[in-house]
Amino acid sequence: MSASRDLPPGEGLLDARQAAELLGVKLSTLYAYVSRGWVRTAPATGAQPGGARARLYARADLDRLKARHDARAGHGAVAAGALRWGEPVLESSLTRIDDRGHSYRGQSALELAARGVRFEAVCELLWTGQLRDRLPLAPGAGAGAGATATATATATATATATATATATATATAPSRTVAPPANSFATSADDMLRGGPRPPGRRGKALRAPAQGLGLAQLEDLIPMGAPPLAGLSLAVPALGLVDPGRFDAPLEAELTRARELVRMMSALLALAHGAGRVAAALTVGRLTNSVAASALVALSPPRDPGSLPSRARITLLDRALVLSADHELNPSSFAARVAGSVGADLYACVSAALATLSGPRHGGMCDRAEALLAEVERPERAADVLFERSARGESIPGFGHHLYPRGDPRGRMLLEAAAAHAPRAAGVRRALALAKVMRTTRREEPTLDLGLCAVAAALDLPRGAPVALFALGRAAGWIAHALEQRAAGFVLRPRARYVGPTG
């Protein structure tokens, strides 16, 4: 810690006696806290320059110091407050948040995104502490379009035909194509593609096949046609666990391989409601380009030309969104993943717990609400009217204002700018920019990541429900990182409750 830090005189300052009483310590202890840089000070009014004790002490720093002391002492009220956007409740080396933004293991997420660092590399940074791209996107990846054409075109037909095309495309792809790792997960996941065609009339009926025979066609039967992409992940991720017998108590290296394959599969499974064929096509493109973003683009919005790959510009924009979404400390879904990880649950269960938590309207549902707001605006000229009408009814404005960023969420700002640069004429982008302008000119909250993801989805012409699906795909990197970190910590997350009910 640095030595005493000064701050300008103003409100929220206590004198030495008041500060010591608040902390319950002697004056000498207070001065020691100041010398360690734990409490900022300001000169007292009328104090002589250089006066050693003529100082005032920052109330915010004193309150924070007291809360940490009380939490260590086990004070129930403080511990309860810590679960409501309060003081940190556990240690983590993954993500730090301050008013400048968030950083992954000491590296600014904003700078990583601005530099064009790929999502796969950020996954490795969060999981291993090393910024390395295990699946590099080779220059001229578009050269694989010829090898992909047959597979992608065939994928629009049936699940069986696509599975065959996928195997053919993978076998004949250029040398940069990455073969699936030789582990139980990769084998089982790819076996799901060979589950055979869906028998006619099966949609909506109960699944009676044993777990070992579970295939994409059977999963397709269980999901309503046109269901949002997030629903496909919630259904398929637990099913992936059922076909991976080696998922329990695996060595770290095996778990890292499993994590990479899981994220790859999740990117393609965003298409599950549109059929196993599109899932297989997305997997094919993902393998040929070695890109999670490319796979997700095919899953959510297949190219008009079946023989083409997503453009580099589209991949770059989506990579930026995934990188900024990758982690955000102990948000509800990440905490759920940590709780599951603390008791030894496998990675699929940890991600499933996070997905279930994300489904809540006050977490992932914020993306859906922001998306609905953009639809309500209809055209940029109506932005002010819609906002003022909502305010008059006492309704919140989704997609704006974040507890941790009083000066504005830098993630939302960066994604809005990126979406506008990519597709300035896209209707959804123009509506998002108009909303942000009205909010700014009326001195209200700044846009959050949720609105930024909506703008990116609009710029890429993705379907309804895509923003929260992109959030889930990106945040899967953090969910897995938190589960692995909590396992390594070696203790079960088991908070205590302060009983307030009747006594007998």
Q: Return per-residue pLDDT of the chain as tens, 504 residues.
A: 344 455 544 447 899 999 999 999 999 899 989 888 889 888 877 654 444 457 899 888 888 888 777 655 554 554 455 555 555 678 899 999 987 899 999 999 999 999 999 999 999 999 999 998 654 443 334 333 333 333 333 333 333 333 333 333 333 333 333 333 334 444 445 555 544 444 443 343 333 333 334 577 788 888 888 899 999 999 999 999 998 999 998 899 999 999 999 999 999 999 999 888 899 999 999 999 999 999 999 999 877 776 679 999 999 999 999 999 999 999 999 999 999 999 999 999 999 999 999 999 989 999 999 999 999 999 999 999 999 999 999 888 999 998 888 889 999 999 999 999 999 999 999 999 999 999 999 999 999 999 999 999 999 999 999 999 999 999 999 999 999 999 999 999 988 888 889 987
Please indicate, yes or no, whether residues 412 and 301 belong to a single structural domain of this protein.
no
Are residues 338 and 411 located together in one domain of the fold?
A: no
Residues 6 or more apart whose Cβ sits within 8 Å of residue 29: 20, 23
Distance CA(290)–CA(222), nearest Å, equals 30
For 98-150, what is each residue's pLDDT tens digit? 878 999 999 999 999 999 999 999 999 999 999 986 544 433 343 333 333 33
Residues 254 and 165 in one domain: yes
- Clarify whether residues 25 and 57 are in a common domain: yes
Q: Residue 208 belongs to a domain with what CATH number?
A: 1.10.580
What tokens appear for 432 in the block?
Answer: 């998002």
Asked if 331 and 184 sit in the same domain, the reply is yes
CA distance 272 to 266: 10
Rounded Cα distance between 151 and 168, Å, is: 8
257 plus 317 within the same structural domain: yes
Listed residues 31, 62, 82: the one ending a domain:
82
300 CB-near residues (< 8 Å, 6+ apart)? 229, 270, 271, 462, 463, 466, 469
Last residue of a domain, one of 306, 341, 358: 358
Determine, yes or no, domain membership for 102.
no
Clarify whether residues 347 and 380 are in a common domain. no
- Do 374 and 236 belong together in one domain? no
CA 284 from chain centre, in angstroms, equals 24
Residue 144 structure tokens: 């694989």
Same domain, yes or no, for 312 and 168? yes
Beta strands 5-6; 40-43: pairing state? parallel
Q: Does 404 fall in a domain? A: yes
Clarify whether residues 216 and 319 are in a common domain.
Answer: yes
Phi and psi (nearest 5°) for 58? -65, 120
- Residue 120 and residue 191: Cα distance in Å, rounded? 24
Q: Give the global pTM.
A: 0.73
DSSP classification of residue 13 = E
In a domain, 135, yes or no: no
| Pair (318, 425) in one structural domain | no
For residue 340, being part of any structural domain is answered with: yes
The domain tally of the chain equals 3
Beta bridge partners of 400: 447
Segments forming the whole domain that contains residue 23: 5-45+52-82
Task: Tell me the chain's radius of gyration from C-alpha atoms.
Answer: 26
User: Are residues 336 and 197 located together in one domain of the fold?
Assistant: yes
Of the residues 305, 327, 358, the one at which a domain ends? 358
* CA distances to 285, 311, 338 from 308, in Å: 9, 9, 40
| Residue 386: CATH number of its domain | 1.10.230.10
